[in-house]
Amino acid sequence: MSNSKESNIVQLPVDPNAAIIDRYGLEGGHIGIGEDESPWVPFGDSAAIRHLSFDVRTGSVCNILWVKGGGKIGTHRHRSAVSAVTLEGSWGYYEYDWVARPGSYVYEHPGAAHTLYSDDPKGMKALFWIHGPIEFFDDNGVYTETTDVFWFINHYISHCEKHGLAINKALFL
């Protein structure tokens, strides 16, 4: 059995829409692990975000959230679905009785409000797929801001421009 990449590619029958797919379809992408492809961008005092994709067509973003030990993300309410997979450490929401650990899957429904925290000495990292806007509130429940796909794009681009980093166009779907 050959281990060459080419010998492992299965030849499929020609798709009846092959010409249209070639002309209008989008190719998949790859964002590597290096910060040259997507740097950690500070998010508040105890967190950072590594942006992985921005989809303005659906208002969705994908990123890795890193909350350093003893940190939290302010109280927020989702206006669409969110899902997450924990990569490192542990975290939870003050409003719920579970704790997410590596491999945990978390889903959040529109209208859910909660405050993310990590009291893990090593902090946490989780991959989030966020659809739609998120409303943030201060400690008194007063609305402070909305983050959406355009906020996340600005967060990334502003950081890159400030630090002379190249903007990775592969992040934009």
The DSSP output letter for 141 is S
CA-to-CA distance for 144 and 44, rounded, in angstroms? 13
Closest CA to 58 of 145, 106, 130: 130
Q: Where are the alpha helices (DSSP H) in the chain?
A: 18-24, 149-162
CA-to-CA distance for 15 and 17, rounded, in angstroms? 5
Closest CA to 73 of 21, 20, 134, 13: 134
CA-to-CA distance for 85 and 101, rounded, in angstroms? 9
Q: For the residues 16-20, what does the mean pLDDT come to?
A: 91
Confidence of residue 2 (pLDDT cuts 50, 70, 90): low
60-100: per-residue pLDDT in tens? 999 999 999 888 999 999 999 999 999 999 999 999 999 99
What is this structure's pTM?
A: 0.89
